[in-house]
């Protein structure tokens, strides 16, 4: 079984997220989605919904086989625990290639779909 891991904040789920998750799922047999925990999110951007609410929204989508909340201190803990074969990255996600490849994971960058942007959605709804 080929396991794929994908992650993100998922402050508000839009069609770009859905496309990203479907593409990630197509890379293997089992998709684990990691929702960024609240403390991690707040270091970089505003938090619209708490982590449990974001997790439930992703579970309701029905794309992921498993949805978990990321570790607040070290994102690699989740990678080490889940042992994915593939890590699917969004077009705008930064990562430490050496660290991830040292764990035996193949990285796949998924291209942007449309012009969807969580930041723009937030700005429009203010």
Report pLDDT digits (tens) over 58-82: 999 999 999 999 998 888 899 999 9
Q: Which of 2, 39, 45, 66 is catalytic?
A: 45
At 113, the pLDDT band (50, 70, 90 cuts) reads low
Angstrom distance (rounded) from CA 90 to CA 16: 10
Q: Please name each of the domains of the chain with its CATH number.
A: 3-124 (3.40.50.620)
Is residue 33 classed as helix, strand or coil in its secondary structure?
strand
> For residue 101, is pLDDT > 90?
no
Residue 44 is among the residues annotated as catalytic for this protein: yes
**Which is the catalytic residue, given 2, 22, 23, 44?**
44
- Tell me, what's the pLDDT at 124? 54
* Known active-site residue 45: yes
Q: What is the dihedral of CA 91, 36, 32, 93, to 10 degrees?
A: 10
Q: What pLDDT, on the 0 to 100 scale, is given for residue 98?
A: 77
């Amino acid at each position: 079984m080929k396991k794929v891991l994908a992650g993100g904040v998922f402050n508000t789920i839009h069609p770009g997220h859905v496309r990203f998750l479907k593409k990630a799922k197509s890379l293997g047999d089992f998709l684990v989605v990691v929702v960024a925990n609240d403390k991690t999110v707040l270091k970089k951007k505003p938090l619209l919904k708490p982590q449990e609410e974001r997790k439930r929204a992703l579970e309701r989508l029905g794309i992921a086989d498993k949805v978990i909340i990321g570790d607040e201190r070290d994102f690699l803990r989740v990678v080490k625990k889940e042992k994915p074969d593939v890590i699917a990255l969004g077009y705008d996600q930064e990562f430490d290639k050496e660290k991830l490849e040292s764990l035996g994971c193949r990285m796949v960058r998924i291209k942007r779909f449309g012009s969807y942007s969580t930041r723009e959605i937030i700005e429009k709804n203010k």
